Chain A
């Protein structure tokens, strides 16, 4: 009875917290004019919630398939078991996603009938295709899950992997179709002068479609990984048995690694999307980065910084897993200092918050010393080095439990250090020289060699690392010995990802300002204005809390089901 009460409290607490936070929305002056629950708020709420779950269920099968394949190749049953447990969470989440999707569609069609009518008319063939693929996707998911044991070996396993591949392809197709609608609303192409879609393929293949496809695909994996890692952390923290702690320590490790590896290229995908938005419309680009949403980007920078710090903190705590890790402990402070410096540059605003006295002293809104740090070249330098620093943490984290048997290990590590140092110098040179002392044409394009430098360093160091530790022995260490602090870092990672997705999703959608479909279908409703930063932040935070509350309930269900299966 006592335990049940405790469990109920755990579930109810976030819900009650959300209920208490909801009145915050009422405090904003304009919310009272049209009531708190305006049509826009309903659409915003269900669109974001549906998107969170959709992102999660599309990402989980990607790494379930990778884990299952790894298990087959390495003949390690642990991968198979953890992959199945990931999928079990996804199965429960699928039902919630479908329910939220139906509610979202109903809300949009009833509250914004003109827009939905226009979109349906323009994209009706794709809507039918979308519905058909969803049915196929659900069927494949259940086949993949239910046949896991029956197709567990030999040719059956190959067939099972084939089903997993098809499931992923259908998931990607669903996302691509939905992305076509969303990006068309931002960058409509294939329309005539009166706004009617005359070329469906052009409307789908608009300038933002592929950047968004890539960005969402990578972000979904990072997000899904973080949520599953948080699930493992939750199970780890509530585990009563040693064996359970060991299992969830390992599961958290796998999910965190997947999430961190996806996090590393994510800023590049985001940069491509933003650059395409600028190319499509200077007005939308300036609104996004320099205009009214500029300060949302400072909030976004703070959350991204938390993500990088959370990920690194988890890795640093992992140095303690084995005795060998103690060698790498002194490096933590240096990596942390590099990360901190980059992060400070990353979130220094171009036009800082100034009191009127400071404004008079400076003589304008730009501080002569700090203003250059507020520009994109400085941010590019910072984010590239942050990625490399996180990569170094990851290498040391792996080395803590590995020993090398090759004679040239020291030379290999020196070469890696050389590559990383040269990469950092090159990134700084490219950013400073082309960003501040060369023609603006090169300023924009110099970000490409910066990204290539980072990618080169990541790939070449990974290859060297692989050969150094190939055939080496695993240093003795015990799963289940992770510190509780590291598990909280995983939970922070999941919360930050969720928050970040909500914030960025709002910015991306809101830069259309008073347009439903940019320059084609105008929003003539009372909610057509751009909300204040404070209101938007509150709405996004509340939606994040609701999502996390539902996720906790799903974790509980998965937990109970797993306990039943174990019995």
Chain B
């Protein structure tokens, strides 16, 4: 099989596989990721083929023959006439105005400030501890239960009954509400970070990567500090996640 046929088949195969995974799973893989994967597959296939002298020749010979062989003269003329049009079309496709809103590389976890002014005092985020974690037995269970009530009275409309970020209002919001399920959101964060996000909401997001456009309310205005800690503890308990910690 010719080297170029192998490259085409492998690259196309990987492309179809990635599309197939998205189709079977029900949520397509992002096109940016698919194109990165496909490009890399192409590159690695070329490298594998070109390792041997024979393989390298099988890659270069068709190009040299196409450029210099007399028999390829007609094909050369066609390609060199068509190629500028193809490139022009690609350039046009890239530069034509689009009605789609521009995408942004949003920073989902902005760096927290060292000190947050909340509840009329300065709170050092790296030092603050969740007081609910100091409770034991029934007192702890009760606090988590209270946290659940606070959640369903305030948070569930956006973050959802299953804490998966799919509440009633979720479809209308961009950025979408964060899911707490899975191992890649709150499980990655220290509790003080989650506390900061709840207390200061969308308005309190730092300037880094602004504008944020988050509609997360500033809960400091309607929840007491203890209530915020209760709801923070609840979302970890309910999803079976542990907050990020440096030591036990």
A residues within 8 Å of B by Cβ? 279, 281-284, 286-287, 290-292, 294-295, 305, 309, 313, 316-317, 319-320, 329, 332-333, 336-337, 339-340, 343-344, 347-372, 374-375, 435-437, 439-441, 443-444, 483, 485, 519, 530, 533
Contact = CB atoms under 8 A, between A and B. Distances in A.
A375 B170 contact: no
Contacts of A369: 21, 25, 27, 29
28 contacts: A282-B125, A282-B126, A282-B190, A283-B112, A283-B114, A283-B125, A286-B110, A291-B107, A291-B109, A305-B40, A329-B51, A340-B41, A352-B30, A352-B32, A356-B103, A358-B28, A363-B165, A365-B176, A366-B179, A367-B27, A369-B25, A369-B29, A435-B183, A439-B242, A440-B242, A440-B243, A441-B247, A443-B244
A320 B53 contact: yes
A287 B111 CA distance: 5
Contacts of B28: 358, 361
B5 interface: no
Nearest to A484: B56
A364 B176 contact: yes
B106 interface: yes
A421 B135 CA distance: 46
A365 B27 contact: no
B246 interface: yes
B160 to A, nearest CB: 10
Contacts of A374: 184
B191 to A, nearest CB: 11
> Which of A281, A349, A352, A357 has its CB near the most chain B CB atoms (within 10 A)?
A352
B122 interface: no
A355 B165 contact: no
A353 B30 contact: yes
Interface stretch (B42-50, B71-79, B149-157, B214-222): B42-50
Contacts of A435: 183
Interface residues of B, number: 64
B108 interface: yes
A489 to B, nearest CB: 9
A485 B111 contact: no
B61 interface: no
Contact of B107 (A283, A292, A360, A436): A292
Given A361-B28, A366-B185, A291 B111 contact: yes
A247 B58 CA distance: 29
Contacts of A340: 40-41, 44
Interface string B1-30: 000000000000000000001000101111
Contact of A363 (B43, B105, B176): B176
Contact of B184 (A329, A361, A366): A366
Contacts of A295: 105
A18 B154 CA distance: 57
B209 interface: yes
Given A329-B51, A440-B242, A483-B56, 4 more contacts: A332-B51, A366-B108, A372-B183, A485-B56
A295 B209 CA distance: 12
A433 B140 CA distance: 28
A394 to B, nearest CB: 15
Interface string B178-200: 11001111011010010000000
A353 B32 contact: yes
B174 interface: yes
Contacts of A291: 107, 109-111, 208-209
B31 A351 contact: no
Given A332-B48, A352-B30, A282 B108 contact: no
Contacts of B120: none
Contacts of A375: 183-184, 188
B205 to A, nearest CB: 12
B31 A358 contact: yes
Contact of A364 (B53, B179, B193): B179
A314 to B, nearest CB: 10
Given A282-B190, A366-B185, A441 B208 contact: no
B53 A371 contact: no
Nearest to B170: A363
A286 B112 contact: yes
Contacts of A332: 48, 51
B145 interface: no
Contacts of B81: none
Contacts of B31: 355, 358
A441 B248 contact: yes
Contacts of B177: 364
B33 A370 contact: yes
Contact of B53 (A350, A353, A368, A483): A483
B36 interface: yes
A436 B209 contact: no
A12 B48 CA distance: 34
A55 to B, nearest CB: 28
A441 B108 contact: no
B168 to A, nearest CB: 13
B209 to A, nearest CB: 6
B44 A309 contact: yes
Contact of B30 (A339, A354, A360): A354
A471 to B, nearest CB: 31
B47 A309 contact: yes
A402 B21 CA distance: 45
Given A317-B51, A444-B246, A353 B105 contact: yes
A213 to B, nearest CB: 23
Contacts of B105: 295, 351, 353, 533
B184 A365 contact: no
Contacts of A354: 30, 32, 103
A366 B182 contact: yes
Nearest to A378: B184
Contacts of B125: 282-283
Contacts of B179: 364, 366
B96 interface: no
Interface in B206-248: 208-209, 242-248
A455 B105 CA distance: 37
